[in-house]
Structure 1
Amino acid sequence: MTTPRTNGWTRRQALQSLALASAAGVVPKGFAEQGAQRRIGVALVGLGGYSRDLLAPALQLTRHCRLAGIVTGSPGKIPEWQGKYDIPDGNVYSYDDFHRIADNPDIDAVYIVTPNHLHKPQTLTAANAGKHVWCEKPMAMDAAEGEAMVKACRDNRVQLTIGYRMQHEPNTRRFMAMAEERPFGRIIKLRADAGWFGFRDGPSDAWRTKPEFGGGAMYDMGVYCVNAVRYASGLDPVAIRAWDETARRDIFPDVDETMRFLLEFPGDIVAECTTSFGRNLNTLQVDCERGWYVMSPFQGYEGNAGRASDGTVFEPQLGKTPRMQAEQMDQDALAILNNTAPRVPGEDGVADMRVLDAAFESARNNGTRIEIP
C-alpha cells in the first residue's frame, strides 16, 4: 500500500518515475529530437461508439497524433471508416491478424477501446508487436491482469497509459495540485459519485450486463470515483467496505447496477462513493479543516466546473466535445515523442484495479471490511 507522502515526494511522482524508467530506451535514436515535426500514428482497436463518435473525431483535432489505422472484429464497418478517414488497406486489421501490426512502421501506438475482458490480450499483442499502448479504463478485469499488462509493456520497452481523460482536464489537474498544496488545511473527507440514468432500460451494449465481459456500474463508472478520490487526496486507500444496491435485477441479473462503497485512507481520511447505471451522479467534493472544494460535473465530456468555500470558481476550460479526448491523446503522444512518462501510467490503472478487486470481495460478503494490498 502507499503511505502518506514524505519529503515532498508524492505518489504521482513515484508512479511517473516508475513509468519513465519502464519506458527507458523506447524511442529510436533521433526520434525525440523531431518533436512536434513528427505525429504519432494511432490505430484504434475497436470501432464502437466511443471510437466512432469521440476518438476518431478528436484525432482530427490533435497536433501531435493522427488516425493511421483500425482494428475491428466487424468487417462491415471497414468501408465506412476507410472512406471517411482515408485509411489504406494495409493499415486495416482484424482481431485475429492484429499481431501483423508489428510489420507496420506507419503505426506507433494503438488505442484499445474494446470490452474490458479484451484489454489484457490485446495489450499483450500490441506490446509484443513493439507498439505503444493506450488502453481505455478500466484497464483490465482485475489487478493481476493489469500487472501482466504493465510487465509486457515494460519488457517490450513500450509505453502503457490508461485512458483516464479527466487527468488531462485543467480543473481536474488543479484539484490534483490542491491535494499537495492543502489550501484549506488537512483533508478530512472526500465524496465521489458517478452514474448515468441513461441505462434505465439497460445499456445499448449488451456486454455491459455480462460479468465475464467486465460489465456493471463499478467497472464502467465506479473507476471514475476510485481514481478521483485517489488523485484528489494524493493517497491510496488502505481498506474498503462495499454494498451492491442493485434495484433492477430484471435488467441487471448478474452485474451491479448500483454500488456504494466507503474507502479508508492513511491519516483517518475517508471517502464515500456511489456509482450507478440507474441514477444521474457526477460530483467530486473534498472537505478540509478550513473549507471545501467541489467539482460538478467532475467527469463529463465537457463543462466540468466547480467552486470552493473561499469563493474561487473553476470555470470550464477545454471547450466542446471532443476537445478533452484531443487533449488527452496529444499529451500521450508527446510522452512518446519526448520519451517522458505519460500522465497516467499503467501502474495508476493497476492501483484502481486493486480497489475494485477488494470492492467486489466486500460486496459479495455484505460490506465486510477488506484491506487493499
Structure 2
Amino acid sequence: MDPNRWSNGISRRRVLQSLALVGAAVALPKAFAATPPARRLGVALVGLGGYSRDLLAPALQLTRHCRLAGLVTGSPEKVPAWQEKYGIRDANVYSYDDFHRIADNPEIDVVYVVTPNHLHMPQTLIAANAGKHVWCEKPMAMDAREGGAMIKACRDNRVQLAIGYRIQHEPNTRRFIDMAAERPFGRIVQLRADAGWFGWRQGADDAWRLDPARGGGAMYDMGVYCVNAARYSTGLEPVAVRAWDETARREIFRGVDETTRFTLEFPGDIVAECVTSFGRNLNTLHIDCERGWYELSPFQSYDGNVGRASDGTRFSAQLGEKPRMQAEQMDQDALAILEGRPPRAPGEEGLRDMHVLDAVFASVRSGNQPVRIAG
C-alpha cells in the first residue's frame, strides 16, 4: 500500500489489477464454487478491529453470495497484512478521509460499518450517498435521531440498510420469534433477558468502549441484545421503561455504565426484566407463559446457543462453530439485496431499539423514574 495515499487521500497505484484479480479468484474457497461469481456481492469492511479481523473477514470466506472486496480504515499500518491475506487490491483500499471515493468503484456493492458507535451515522451517510448498500453493526447509532437520518439517507439513495443483528439469523432465535406468535404455552406473562461479560479487554481496539463520546458502556454494547430479545420474543413494542445504573467500579467506568438494570413494560401487562453488564457473565433469555416456559442459555453467543422448555423440548445448537453465524447473516442480507426484498433486520429494526435505549438513558438520568418510549 502506497503510504502517500494516507497523506493526501489520492491513490497513486493502479497497476497489476488484472493479476491481482486473477490471484484473488484462485484463492477463493470452494464454498463459492456453486454460486456464479456475478452473483457474489463485493463487500468493503469499514473498520479493521477485532470483530472484522477475527469474525467477519473469515466469515466472508464461507459465504456463497458475497465476498470481501475492499477495506476502509483509519489505521494504515493494518493494511499490508490484510492485503496479503485476502488479496485486496490497492484500488479497493480507502482511508476514512477518501472513503467517499468508493462511489467510483463498481467492485464494491456493500459497505459494512464495523467502527465505534459514534461513527456509524456519518459513515453510513457517506456510503449511502456513494450509492452503496449498507450493513451496520449494532447499535445502529448513538440515538434515535441519528438512526432516523441513516434510514432517510439510504431510502433517498435507494440502497438497503441492514443492521448486524446476527442473532436474528440463528435458527433457535428464529424459532423463538415464531413462538411469540404461536404461543405454544399460552399467553406470555413475563420474560428475563440478561447479557454481559466479566473482565475487560485492554487492547487499542476496545478502548472506545470506555469512552462516552464514542458510545461506550454496557448498555450500548450488550444491552441492545436484551432490548432486541425482549421485542422479538414478545412480538410487541415496549411502551415504558425504568432503569438503574448499578456501576460499581467507577475508577474504570468513568462516564459509562458498567452495569444497567432495566424493566420494560409491554402491552398486555407483559414485563421484561433485563440486566446488562461489563462486570458479570450473563447470557440468558427466559420466557414465562401461562402454561409453561422456554429459554435459551446462552442466547447471544457467537456459537453454541442452546435451550430448553418446560415440556422437555431441547433447542440444540444449529449453525456450528463461529464464524458460521456471521456467514449466515451476511449471506441472508446479500440475498435480500440480490432478490430485491427487505433484509431480515432493516434499519427500522435498529431504530426501534434506539428509541428504547434513549428512554433507558433518560430514566437513569431521572433517578429511576418511568419514561415513555417514543416511536
Q: Report the TM-score, using the length of structure 2 for normalisation.
A: 0.89
Aligned residue number for residue 104 of structure 1: 105
Contact 1:135 1:162 in 2 (8 A): yes
CA–CA separation in structure 2 for the residues paired with 1:163 and 1:141: 15
Residue 292, structure 1, aligned to residue 293, structure 2: yes
Segments of 4+ moved more than 3 angstroms: 34-37, 200-204
Structure number with greater CO (CA < 8 Å, separation at least 6) is: 1
- Taking a change above 3 Å as real, the CA distance of residues 95 and 204 of structure 1, as seen in their structure-2 partners, is closer
Aligned residue number for residue 240 of structure 2: 239
* CA shift for structure 1 position 199: 2.0
Q: Report the TM-score, using the length of structure 1 for normalisation.
A: 0.90
CA–CA separation in structure 1 for the residues paired with 2:49 and 2:89: 20
CA–CA separation in structure 2 for the residues paired with 1:332 and 1:62: 11
Q: Which residue identity lines up with residue 106 of structure 1 in the other structure? A: E
Contact 2:49 2:205 in 1 (8 A): no
* CA shift for structure 1 position 36: 8.2
* CA shift for structure 1 position 253: 1.3
Residue 49, structure 1, aligned to residue 50, structure 2: yes
* CA shift for structure 1 position 184: 0.5
* CA shift for structure 1 position 198: 2.7
- Taking a change above 3 Å as real, the CA distance of residues 36 and 345 of structure 1, as seen in their structure-2 partners, is farther
Structure 1 portions without partners, runs of 5+: 1-33
Aligned residue number for residue 264 of structure 1: 265
Aligned residue number for residue 62 of structure 2: 61
User: Equivalent residues in 2 for 1:262-341 (5 A)?
Assistant: 262-341=263-342
Structure (1 or 2) with the larger CA radius of gyration: 2
Aligned residue number for residue 195 of structure 2: 194
* CA shift for structure 1 position 168: 0.2
Residue 160, structure 1, aligned to residue 149, structure 2: no
Q: Which residue identity lines up with residue 360 of structure 1 in the other structure? A: F
Provide Cα deviations, 1:268-322, integer angstroms capped at 9, x if missing partner. 0000000000000000011000000000000000000000011100000000010
Q: Which residue identity lines up with residue 75 of structure 1 in the other structure? A: P
Aligned residue number for residue 360 of structure 2: 359
CA–CA separation in structure 1 for the residues paired with 2:203 and 2:39: 43
Contact 1:301 1:322 in 2 (8 A): yes
Aligned residue number for residue 206 of structure 1: 207
- Taking a change above 3 Å as real, the CA distance of residues 204 and 151 of structure 1, as seen in their structure-2 partners, is closer
- Taking a change above 3 Å as real, the CA distance of residues 203 and 217 of structure 1, as seen in their structure-2 partners, is farther
Aligned residue number for residue 169 of structure 1: 170
CA–CA separation in structure 2 for the residues paired with 1:40 and 1:337: 8
Query: What is the root-mean-square deviation in Å for CA atoms of aligned residues?
Result: 1.4
Residue 84, structure 1, aligned to residue 94, structure 2: no
* CA shift for structure 1 position 204: 6.2
* CA shift for structure 1 position 348: 0.4
* CA shift for structure 1 position 331: 0.2
Provide Cα deviations, 1:317-372, integer angstroms capped at 9, x if missing partner. 00001000000000000000000110000000000000000000101111100000
Aligned residue number for residue 216 of structure 1: 217
Q: Which residue identity lines up with residue 215 of structure 2 in the other structure? A: G
Q: Which residue identity lines up with residue 211 of structure 1 in the other structure? A: P
Q: Which residue identity lines up with residue 84 of structure 1 in the other structure? A: K
Aligned residue number for residue 26 of structure 1: none
Provide Cα deviations, 1:165-210, integer angstroms capped at 9, x if missing partner. 0000000000000001000010000100000003287996111111
CA–CA separation in structure 1 for the residues paired with 2:202 and 2:69: 36
CA–CA separation in structure 2 for the residues paired with 1:202 and 1:141: 23
CA–CA separation in structure 1 for the residues paired with 2:255 and 2:205: 16
CA–CA separation in structure 2 for the residues paired with 1:213 and 1:57: 26
CA–CA separation in structure 2 for the residues paired with 1:306 and 1:198: 25
Q: Which moves more between the two structures, 352-361 or 36-45?
A: 36-45
Provide Cα deviations, 1:217-236, integer angstroms capped at 9, x if missing partner. 00000000000000000011
User: Equivalent residues in 2 for 1:119-130 (5 A)?
Assistant: 119-130=120-131
CA–CA separation in structure 2 for the residues paired with 1:238 and 1:66: 40
